[in-house]
Structure 1
Amino acid sequence: MNVLSRFAALRRGFFVGLACLGLLAGTSSHAQTLQKVKQTGELRIGVASGDPWYYRDPVSGQWSGVGVLVGEQIAKNLGVKMVPVETTWGNSVAGLQSGQIDVMFVLDATEERKRAIDFPTTPLLWYAQGILAKEGLVAKNWEDLNKPNVRVGVALGTATDRDLTKRLPSAKIERFTNTDETVAAFNAGRVDAIGFYHSVLVIAYSKIKKGSVQIPQPVVAIPTSAGVRREQDPSFRDMLDEQFKKMYASGQTQALYAQYLKTKGLDPDKLPGVTKETLER
């Protein structure tokens, strides 16, 4: 073997060695989330503005919401402390991949996200396409709204906009820049109803105390989950899956949602819940 051939062989061996070290390092850091949580005594959850899931008090700076309550309960079950880490919905996947957070509750398992991170199999909870309707407007079915004289407000470009545009071709769809503008239009009487996922509508109702939250038939129910880092060792993901099953089956998930609604001055018994069974009644 000449000098050049020997150098090439050494070079290949060097980079193979680096690759192996990188693989081992990656396996070591990515396979131990559950162990790390137990060792540090902390479960770091991502929190991002989006009531009722996450809400930051403007005075105290404290975070609350259904996602926070779920995080606290699971942390308690693990015997550790729940630590909120502020992020955004758009940055949550990157935060999980980089290890800044351990889990992001109430994150939909979209096909795009599933290519980057992992999700428990069991849904955390469910929400449904609904409306906040003015007094006297009852929509037991979507067809009750599909009339030329019914004005329905939506946030431009959202999934609700796309869905109701197809579902209500005869209704007058009014589009607004964002959720706040849509709610303001309803509050001012410029639309007869607004369409969003029912959990968002419940919070809107808590602020303006006008109209009623309704889920017309057929119900468009959507499961949501929790994002976690993809790992060779799935123990953290599987632990969450078991926690979700137990909390959902025991009624604890709905109870935590009801607990949060009460902090908003709402009666949870008079509002749609977050289980598929209650939404599809």
Structure 2
Amino acid sequence: MASRRDIASLLGSGALAAALAPIGTAQAQTPPAPGENAFQRIRRTKKLRIAAAVGTEPYYKKDIATGQWSGFCISMAQDLAKVMEAELEVIESTWGNSVLDLQANKIDIMFGLSPAPSRALTVEFTRPIMNNTFTIIAKPDFEPKTWADLNKPEVRVAVDIGSSHDLFARRVLPNATLVALKTPDEALLSLQSNRADCVIQVAMLSLVTVKKNPKLGRITVPTPARAQPTCAGVRPDPDPRFRTFVDNWLEYNRGIGSLRSWITSSLEIVGIQPQDIPAEIVF
């Protein structure tokens, strides 16, 4: 586990005493200096750029009235920016577009990505932040117990196209009837309108979905339990210093309990208490 001294040595003296800068909105892009890597650019410009996806609580939550962001990933980004003596800049994006934002050098890091092999062709991933259990939200009269119960042509499984839910369903449920829709909201609407029997979501999302709309269905964790790592994505760089720094920062915060604290605090933002989390779901 990396110590506070280890992290400080990557930055230089004074990093850990830096005050947390307010969250800004990304403006004109600062061109990189010749031969400059991501770590050097952040240290030079004093700006850490991330993308955030609206409507993905508890990962990202935007206050429409104030424009301020909160959530699990924002808490992590704020702390990382503080340690790097940088101001946090947030641009509004989507999970899918965030990979393009990394490629285009619009952002430095995207928190909350799953390291799917297709994504790993174009971006690099940090060590896992946590493992996120795959769950289903099932309509009231549908009671599958296993993933095998879902892997049948008569079972209609809704997913949002291009997401980790979509990739997981295509790999694990090849015989099910996939209801692939453009957005998570459309996938949920298909369940409400009885065009699907269930929706696949990772636990961090399904907990929020059912909390907001208990009539939608119930959360089930089919057996055997399956989970995916949740990481941060960074742009490929010949000099891995930034990714190495983030890895050390993650291990340090895992060791002192900050990662778990950020997760539980983000769930509380949307009204989810520890007793609301099924015993089968472990972060």
Report the TM-score, using the length of structure 2 for normalisation.
Answer: 0.70
**Alignment match, 1:244:** 250
Q: Superposition pairs for residues 42-121 of structure 1, below 5 Å?
A: 42-52=47-57, 53-120=59-126
- Does 1:265 find its partner at 2:264? no
Alignment root-mean-square deviation, CA: 3.6
Change (3 A) 1:31 1:136: same
Q: CA deviation at 1:130?
A: 0.7
The amino acid that maps onto 1:45 is I
Q: CA deviation at 1:150?
A: 7.0
Q: CA deviation at 1:132?
A: 1.7
**Alignment match, 2:224:** 218
- Does 1:41 find its partner at 2:41? no
**Alignment match, 2:200:** 195
User: Which runs of 5 or more residues in structure 2 are unaligned?
Assistant: 1-30
CA contact 1:125–1:248 (8 Å) conserved in 2: no
Q: State how far apart, in whole Å, the 1-side matches of 2:220 and 2:251 are.
A: 27
Bigger radius of gyration among the two: 1
Q: What SS does structure 1 have at the residue aligned with 2:223? A: coil
When structure 1 is superposed on structure 2, of 173-182 and 227-236 the one drifting more is 173-182
Cα deviation code 1:225-273 (max 9, x no counterpart): 2222222322111000111222234332222121111111111443269
- Does 1:255 find its partner at 2:261? yes
User: Which runs of 5 or more residues in structure 1 are unaligned?
Assistant: 1-25
**Alignment match, 1:123:** 128
Report the TM-score, using the length of structure 1 for normalisation.
Answer: 0.71
Q: State how far apart, in whole Å, the 1-side matches of 2:149 and 2:219 are.
A: 15
**Alignment match, 1:204:** 209
Q: CA deviation at 1:107?
A: 2.2
Q: Write 1 or 2 for the structure with the bigger share of helix.
A: 1
Q: State how far apart, in whole Å, the 2-side matches of 1:232 and 1:164 are.
A: 34
Q: State how far apart, in whole Å, the 2-side matches of 1:81 and 1:212 are.
A: 41
Identity of aligned pairs, percent?
31
- Count the aligned residue pairs: 251
Q: Superposition pairs for residues 129-148 of structure 1, below 5 Å?
A: 129-134=134-139, 140-143=145-148
Q: State how far apart, in whole Å, the 1-side matches of 2:228 and 2:246 are.
A: 19
Q: 1:182 aligns with which of 169, 187, 191?
A: 187
